[in-house]
Structures are given as C-alpha cells and as structure tokens.
Structure 1
Amino acid sequence: MTRTTIKALLLGASVLAYAGAASAEDVTLTIESWRNDDLAIWKDKLIPAFEAKNPGIKVVFAPSAPTEYNAALNAKLESGSAGDLITCRPFDASLELYKKGYLADITKNPGMENFSDVAKSAWTTDDGSAAFCVPMASVIHGFIYNKDAFDKLGITPPKTEAEFFAALEKIKADGTYIPMAMGTKDLWEAATMGYQNIGPNYWKGEEGRNALLKGEQKLTDEQWVKPYEVLAKWKDYLGDGFEAQTYPDSQNLFTLGRAAIYPAGSWEIGGFNTQAQFKMGAFAPPVAKDGDDCYISDHTDIGVGMNAKTAHKAEAEKLLTWISSPEFADMYANSLPGFFSLNKTAVKMQDPLAQEFVSWREKCKSTIRSTYQILSRGTPNLENETWVESANVINGTDTPAVAAEKLQKGLDSWYKPAK
C-alpha cells in the first residue's frame, strides 16, 4: 500500500468520523399527540418545513389513539419517558398537567404574542398569569346547507331567527327534504351543535360567559333561557324518529342529500367534502333580530406545550416559536380545513366552505363554549348536564325554564364564584 493510498484512507476515515460526530449532535424532538388523522401532514409538510430552517434538529410525530391518549400520556409523564412536546387538550386536562409540573410555563416564549387572550384561554391558569400551551387550532360552529336544495326552493341563507324558521318552514312544506339533520340520542349533539351554536348570540359571547363565571349572571336569566326557547322549536323540523337518531345517522342523512340543513362544527368539512355529491354552503348562527351584533362559538380545540422535563429545552422552544408563526398557521389550517388557526395573522383558506366559516371572525365576535372553563370541574358536571337538558328541551320532556333551573341548581351545589 503506497503512502498516498494510506493518506487517502486516513483522510476518508477522518471525514467519516467528522460526519458521524456532526450527525450525533443532531437533537431529536418527539411530539406526543392524540390526533393520529394528521400524521401524514406532520410527516410530509410541517416537519420538513421546520427541519429545513433548523438544521441539527430532527422531529418525530408520535400519536396515540385518541381514546388512549390521556392515560398513555400520564403514564409516560410519570415514568419520565414522555416526548419533548405535548399536544394539549383544552382546559382542565392540560391545566392539571401544568399544576403537576409536567408542562412548562411558556408565557414568554417568542411567538406567544401572536395569540389573543380568548385564543390562549384554554391553556392559561385561572388567574391568567401563566400560559402553558401554544394555541394551534379552533373549530367554529354554524350551519352547513345543501346549496342545490336551497337553489331549488329559492331560499337565501338566513341571517335572523325569523328568516331561519321561515326557511325551515319552506323546506318542510315542500316535503322533498328533512329540514334539518340532528338527533338527540347521543345528547352531546343537541348541546354542542344546538345550544352552544346559537347561544352566544343571546348571552353576548364572552360578555355573558365571563359574567356567568363571576356569578353576575345565572343560567335562569333570560339571555341563557332564550336559546332553549329557540331550540324547543327545532323539534318540528328534525324529521321522524330524531329522538333515536345518532350523530353518524345525522351525518349520513345530510351527506346522502336527504336533509337540507346540518347544524355543524367546522370539523365536518373534510369528511363532507369527500362524501356529499352536491354543492354545500354555510351560514353563521342567525341573530335574534336585524341589526344585532353577531357572535360565534370559535372553540379552542388543540394546542401544544413543552414537557417541563425535556432534555432539549432550547430546541423545543424553537419548535414552539415556529408553531406560533403565520407560516405554520397557513400550512396547518389549509392542510386540515375546518381546524382554524388561532394566530392573529388571518389565514386565507383555500377550501371555500372553510373560508366561509373563518370569514365570520371578521364580522362577529368570537367566544368559546360556555361550559368548558372552570364550570365543569364539579359534580354535577355542567357540560354533561347541558347535554342532557338540551336533548330534553328538544324532545319536549323539559321546558326551557325547567332545564335552566336544573342546570343552575346543579351549578349552585358546588360552584362558588370568586368575588
């Protein structure tokens, strides 16, 4: 072997050794999540975009099944084996993780200024002093309708309560379609797509919700009973046997073209786009009367925080800052139409139905579901009780006034507003 050959081999070995050392310095961050339906979006779009700008940091997205996530995550956190970033459910489940010291305080992390207080409310301490997750997306409530049916019957999307019932009456009189696809068997549907959908227009969104938290308003007040009075009138337009109708039944009735209107959460958009063979439109929850301010349930759905015990704090903070950016907001929201960015920088949606939903933010005030923050910590749980009473009111087994009294009595039994 010549000296030149030996030199070349030694040089090659040193280059390989250097390359090995460089790659050994790469930090790998793992993201825990319950959303396994967006695995491809993270792998193919989001992670490559971040890694391209941050050489030396690799990211692995490691979801669990949604029903197993809470238990699996808690076990990993207790044993010290959880990932560096933790996908956060809204409100109490994540607040509990923060209180136990599992989620880091990220209040001052660069990018957090890109979110409003309403956006951050699901991942902030009760006193508002610390934030522990970056808000990623919300879902918006409204109504999706069969555009072909509306065109055929000469119906314009309603803006007021009176116009809404006039449209339902016209659809019912024609007889071709069930006016509205919603059942009460699964209970949550009646509350989430019913009460929490139309209610904010009556209790004035955050104004009413915060007054309820402070004990300045009660569920027996007119503005909280009125949505139930409106819901009670839905009964005549839900079709035969709606009391035994499940959530998947409602979805099928609408996508098969048998119902004209679907009280909706924006999470339906992706599925409906693939299943419905007709043109769809959407309208915001109708206001009580012309000229009223409008409010929408723009409900905080998913965030991401940092494992307080991560060995890669600086790198995890970099990833959180990128997730807080308008670039991430655009990529995420357009990859998952119906899950809307909570970033202050408005995202132009490519999907027309999603764009219709998100456009309501420009003209209406956003709020979150009234039962989610603080008010469902005790027993009876106000969220679950609202499911039951919303179904009872629509079924006609409880009057709006009785339903409101039951809910307030249950809340009074354990909730003492901070004065």
Structure 2
Amino acid sequence: MSQSLRMAAAAAALVCSSFAGAGTLTIESWRVDDKGLWEDVLLPAFYKANPGITVKFAPTAPPEYNSALNARLTAGTAGDLVTCRPFDVSLDLFKKGHLDKLNGNPALKNFPESAQVAWQTDDGKDTYCVPMASVIHGFFYNKKVFAELGLAVPVTEADFFAAMDKIKAQGKVAPIAMGTADQWETHQIVYTGIGPNYWKGEEGRKALIAGKKKFTDPEFVKTWDVMAKWAAYLPKGYQAQTYGDSQNLFGTGRAAIYPTGSWDISYFEGNSKVEFGAFKPPVAKAGDPCYISDHTDIAMGINSKSKNKADAQVFLNWLASKEFADLYTNKVTGFFSLSKHAIDVKNPVAKEMIGWRNQCKSTIRLNAQIMSRGTPSMENEFWNVNSQVMNGKMAPKDAAAQIQTGFAKWYTPAK
C-alpha cells in the first residue's frame, strides 16, 4: 500500500472512530428505580418505532446525581441525553453551556407553555429541556375508616377538621399520618400542598416574585394557621416521626389520612393492603375555586457535547409522542405526562388525581422558581419554620415574618 493510501485509510479510521457513538445514546438520570421500566418497557417501544438506534439508561443515585452529572459534563464524558430537574438546577447547566437550546424544537409543540416554564430562562425566551412529567399533591384516605365512621371526603376546611375530630374521638387510628422529624414534608407536602387554595395558586406565587405580595399577607399566614391546627390530630410523638414512619403508619391501617403526592401511589400499592382513595386539598369555604400543586418534576435535554445529536433529537420527538405519554403515565404510576395528549389513566387513584386538572387551576411549589436562589436559602428556612409551627414552637405570624425577612435580604422586589 502506498503512503498516500495508508494516510487515507488512517484518516478514514479516525473519522469512523469519532462517530463510534452514532446510533447509540446514553441517558443520564437520577431515577434509579426506573431502570427496569426503561429497559423492559419504554426502550423496547422506542426501538420498535425507531430501529437502528440503541439507548442505554445509566442512572445515578439521586443524592449524587447533580454533582456527578456536573463533573461528567465538565469532563466531556456525560451521556447524550440529560434528565432535567426543574428550575435552577437545570437552568445552571444551561447557563454553563451544557444543554442545547431547544427553541422552536418540534418536540415542544405537544406541550402547553405552562409545562415548559420549569425548563426555561427567567424571561421565557430560551427552552432547554422537553417536559416529561409532573406530580400532583393531595391526600390519601383509608376507605375502611371513612366508611366505618360514615365520613364523606372533605371538600372544605371545615369538613376536614370535622372529619379529624370524629376520627380522633373514635380513638382507633391516628387522624393524620404525619411527622416533623425530617422537616421537608412540612413544606413540600403540607405548606405548598394546601396553601394554593389560600393564595390562589399562580396569582399569589407570581405576586411574591413581582414584589406585589409579602409572606406576611393574610393568605400566606392563613396557611400556617391551618398547619398549626393539624398538631392536635398528629400521632403521639410525631416530632420524632420520619417520612418512612408515616408511610408505615398509613400503610398498616393505623392512620386515616396521609398528606402526600401522587408519587406515593406505587409505594402503597406495592407495600400495603389498605384500600385507599385520594382527595384534593380542601378549599377555605364552600364554593371557592380550587387550586392544586401540579409540580413539574422531570424533563430531558440534549448534552451540548453529544456526538449524536441527530438521534438524540429522534429520541426527544418520541418523548413528546402520545405513545410515550401513555406508557410513562401508566407505568410510572403517579407521574403524569405534561403533554397535551389525552391519556387513559388505568390506576384508579392516579385517575382521580389527574382528573383534578379539569376541576382546579394548577400551580407549582411556591418557592421552586427564583425564590430559593439567595441567602438564607428559602427552602431551608421553610423546612425549619414549618416544622416549628407544627411542633407548636413558633406562631404563624412569626413564621411569616422570618420567611419574608430572609427573602428581603437578597431579593430587591421583596424589600
């Protein structure tokens, strides 16, 4: 072989090696529990529609995901597709140039604007991840306990506390399976779950960001007032009760209701024999419009350094399809597609909860966007003050003042 031919062959080999990833995609994710689902259900469906492309689902444990993903993206070793957490975590990746801009991407046409906000810049001009699913907040209730006491599902705040009084008076089970040891539930489940009915969902949330409302305003203080009343219905020793303890209490039939989100449906169906239903957060008074926390939770974007962006786009297109929406919603029970596609939800509790979208206005967790960026961390502050309120150690008005003061320290519109 002549030298020129040898050089041409070497060049061709180099080109081929640089495209060794073509036809193969790797997905970065924190959803370790979904590995079997992807490998046994989702990816086979994708392969059927898109022969010639192979996909590896390579999850990292949730606590390590953010740091490990950042390290791989910086080193250029991350997968082609990045599962995106909502708001600031993924926004930071986009600002660092790790995620491709998806403006005008055909995959996005199947999602309402509201579903895209969690993966857009603050001004809404750039979108960098395709929405996948949300979780919906509410309450699970023990159907047997409610039937024995002749209780109807509570619709109003008064209904709720009347039911709690009746359950407490019977004395057989705890009215509410809830503890404050882990703290996070007091905020992410309770405050942001029941609060939208008082601050009118997006209206109140956006007013805080705009500086037109303060946490010391009545609608926000009212939520803490209601939380404080819960203490009388919590299990003995609830201050030392963890999230897992609460799951066990409800799952073994020793509590009547369990404040939670749709993500817990699969846990109880797999670990409990209790027949349970769901009800949405009660409104303040009869006739009030209802609001639900329908929190945008998971999306997917393209690694800006991927060597196989064409196939990555094919995958995003499939992610936006009705087939994926149906499979994901029905197989990852309690995680609901954010797409415009009409989905026939099979699980009865999940079907009940997703139906609330047609009855109520949706919002997201109160401080998920913008409000937790500064110091002190509003998220951490909420965990602290909310658990103190439920433990009877802090008055609702003092909780409101502490959150507002911390917010105003770094956020100019809140001053």
TM range (shorter): over 0.9
Counterpart of 1:6 in structure 2 is none
Counterpart of 1:278 in structure 2 is 274
**1:141-290 equivalent positions in 2, closer than 5 A:** 141-290=137-286
- 2 CA distance for matches of 1:65 and 1:122? 22
The alpha-carbon distance between structure 1 residues 99 and 26, as it changes in their structure 2 partners (threshold 3 A), is closer
**1:35-74 equivalent positions in 2, closer than 5 A:** 35-74=31-70
Once the two structures are superposed, residues 171-225 of structure 1 have per-residue CA deviations (whole angstroms, 9 ceiling, x without a partner) of: 0001111000100111111112211110000111111111110001110011111
- 2 CA distance for matches of 1:207 and 1:402? 24
Deviation of 1:418 after TM superposition, in Å, equals: 9.6
Deviation of 1:70 after TM superposition, in Å, equals: 1.3
Deviation of 1:111 after TM superposition, in Å, equals: 2.3
Counterpart of 1:384 in structure 2 is 380
Q: State yes or no: 1:110 paired with 2:106.
A: yes
Q: Where do 4+ consecutive residues of structure 1 move more than 2 Å?
A: none
Counterpart of 1:413 in structure 2 is 409
Task: Classify the secondary structure of the residue corresponding to 2:83.
Answer: strand
- 1 CA distance for matches of 2:306 and 2:271? 42
Query: Which AA in structure 1 matches 2:181?
Result: K
Counterpart of 2:399 in structure 1 is 403
Once the two structures are superposed, residues 45-91 of structure 1 have per-residue CA deviations (whole angstroms, 9 ceiling, x without a partner) of: 11111122222211111111112211211111111111110011111
**1:285-296 equivalent positions in 2, closer than 5 A:** 285-296=281-292
Of the three residues 129, 133, 137, the one matched with 2:129 is 133
Q: State yes or no: 1:300 paired with 2:296.
A: yes
Deviation of 1:346 after TM superposition, in Å, equals: 3.0
- 1 CA distance for matches of 2:91 and 2:316? 18
Task: Classify the secondary structure of the residue corresponding to 1:309.
Answer: coil
- 2 CA distance for matches of 1:46 and 1:149? 38
Counterpart of 1:364 in structure 2 is 360
Identical aligned residues as a percent? 58
Task: Classify the secondary structure of the residue corresponding to 1:349.
Answer: coil
The answer to whether the Cα contact below 8 Å between 2:179 and 2:238 also exists between their aligned partners in 1 is yes
The TM-score normalised by the length of structure 2 is 0.93
The answer to whether the Cα contact below 8 Å between 1:25 and 1:56 also exists between their aligned partners in 2 is no
Deviation of 1:372 after TM superposition, in Å, equals: 0.8
Deviation of 1:331 after TM superposition, in Å, equals: 0.3
Of the three residues 312, 320, 324, the one matched with 2:320 is 324
The answer to whether the Cα contact below 8 Å between 2:252 and 2:274 also exists between their aligned partners in 1 is no
Task: Classify the secondary structure of the residue corresponding to 1:141.
Answer: strand
Gaps of 5+ in 2: 1-19
Counterpart of 1:394 in structure 2 is 390
- 2 CA distance for matches of 1:330 and 1:322? 12
Which has more radius of gyration?
A: 1
The answer to whether the Cα contact below 8 Å between 1:299 and 1:367 also exists between their aligned partners in 2 is yes
Once the two structures are superposed, residues 254-298 of structure 1 have per-residue CA deviations (whole angstroms, 9 ceiling, x without a partner) of: 001100000011111001012221210100000001111100000
**1:14-25 equivalent positions in 2, closer than 5 A:** none
The TM-score normalised by the length of structure 1 is 0.93
Count of residues in correspondence between the two structures: 397
The answer to whether the Cα contact below 8 Å between 1:26 and 1:58 also exists between their aligned partners in 2 is no
Query: Which AA in structure 1 matches 2:138?
Result: G
Q: More deviation in 47-56 or 149-158? A: 47-56
Q: More deviation in 49-58 or 30-39? A: 49-58
The answer to whether the Cα contact below 8 Å between 1:180 and 1:237 also exists between their aligned partners in 2 is yes
Query: Which AA in structure 1 matches 2:322?
Result: P
- 2 CA distance for matches of 1:296 and 1:89? 20
Deviation of 1:117 after TM superposition, in Å, equals: 2.5
- 1 CA distance for matches of 2:27 and 2:310? 15
Deviation of 1:315 after TM superposition, in Å, equals: 1.2
Q: More deviation in 392-401 or 340-349? A: 340-349
Counterpart of 2:5 in structure 1 is none
Task: Classify the secondary structure of the residue corresponding to 1:223.
Answer: helix
The answer to whether the Cα contact below 8 Å between 2:208 and 2:414 also exists between their aligned partners in 1 is no
The alpha-carbon distance between structure 1 residues 382 and 26, as it changes in their structure 2 partners (threshold 3 A), is closer
Counterpart of 1:17 in structure 2 is none
The alpha-carbon distance between structure 1 residues 227 and 205, as it changes in their structure 2 partners (threshold 3 A), is same
Counterpart of 2:7 in structure 1 is none
Q: More deviation in 111-120 or 284-293? A: 111-120
- 2 CA distance for matches of 1:415 and 1:162? 36
Query: Which AA in structure 2 matches 1:331?
Result: L
Counterpart of 1:89 in structure 2 is 85
